[in-house]
Amino acid sequence: MRIDIVSIFPPMFAGAFDHSIVKRARERGIVRIDVHDLRAHTTDRHRSVDDEPYGGGPGMVMTPEPWFRAVESLREEGERGRAILMTPQGRRLDQRIVRELAAEERLILLCGRYEGVDERVREHLVDDEISIGDYVLSGGEPAAVVLVDAVVRLQAGALGSAQSTVEESFSDGLLEYPQYTRPAEFRGWSVPDILLSGHHAEIVRWRRRQQIERTRLRRPDLLPDGDADTEVLDAN
Ligand code: 6GU
Rounded distance from Cα 92 to ligand 1 centre (Å): 10
87 pocket-lining for ligand 1 (C-beta < 6 Å): yes
* pLDDT band, very low/low/confident/very high, at 163 (cuts 50, 70, 90): confident
Q: How far is the CA of 134 from the centre of ligand 1 (A)?
A: 8
Cβ of 134 less than 6 Å from ligand 1: no
**CB-neighbour burial class of residue 10 (10 A; exposed 0-12, middle 13-18, buried 19+):** middle
- Could you report the per-residue pLDDT of 96-120, keeping only the tens digit for each? 999 999 999 999 999 999 889 999 9
Task: For domain 2-152, give the CATH number.
Answer: 3.40.1280.10
Mutate to test the pocket of ligand 1, among 9, 115, 131, 138 (most ligand atoms within 8 A of CB): 131
- pLDDT class of 171 with cuts at 50, 70, 90: low
Ligand 1 binding pocket includes 117 (Cβ within 6 Å) = no
Q: Is the CB of 6 under 6 A from ligand 1?
A: no
pLDDT: is 232 or 207 the higher one? 207
Q: How far apart are CA 233 and CA 67, in angstroms?
A: 49
The closest-lying atom of ligand 1 relative to the alpha carbon of residue 138 is 4
The verdict on the CB of residue 22 being under 6 Å from ligand 1 is no
Pocket lining: 7 vs ligand 1, CB cutoff 6 Å: no
Q: How far is CA 72 from CA 2, 68, 123, in A?
A: 16, 6, 15
Predicted TM-score (pTM) of the model is: 0.93
User: Tell me, what's the pLDDT at 169?
Assistant: 62
Task: State which ligand 1 atom lies nearest to the alpha carbon of 130.
Answer: 1
Q: What is the dihedral of CA 74, 96, 24, 14, to 10 degrees?
A: 60
CA separation for the pair 7, 5 (Å, rounded): 6
Pick the CATH number of 167-235 from 1.10.1270.20, 2.30.110.10, 3.40.50.300, 3.40.50.2000: 1.10.1270.20
Ligand 1 neighbour 132 (Cβ under 6 A): yes
Q: What is the DSSP letter of 35?
A: E
Q: Residue 207: enclosing H or E segment and its boundaries?
A: helix 200-218
Mean pLDDT of 204-213: 98
Q: Whose CA is nearest to atom 5 of ligand 1?
A: 137
Residue 135 CB–ligand 1 contact under 6 Å = yes
Using a pLDDT cut of 90, give the percent of the chain over it: 89
Where are the chain's structural domains? 2-152, 167-235
Atom in ligand 1 nearest the alpha carbon of residue 113: 4
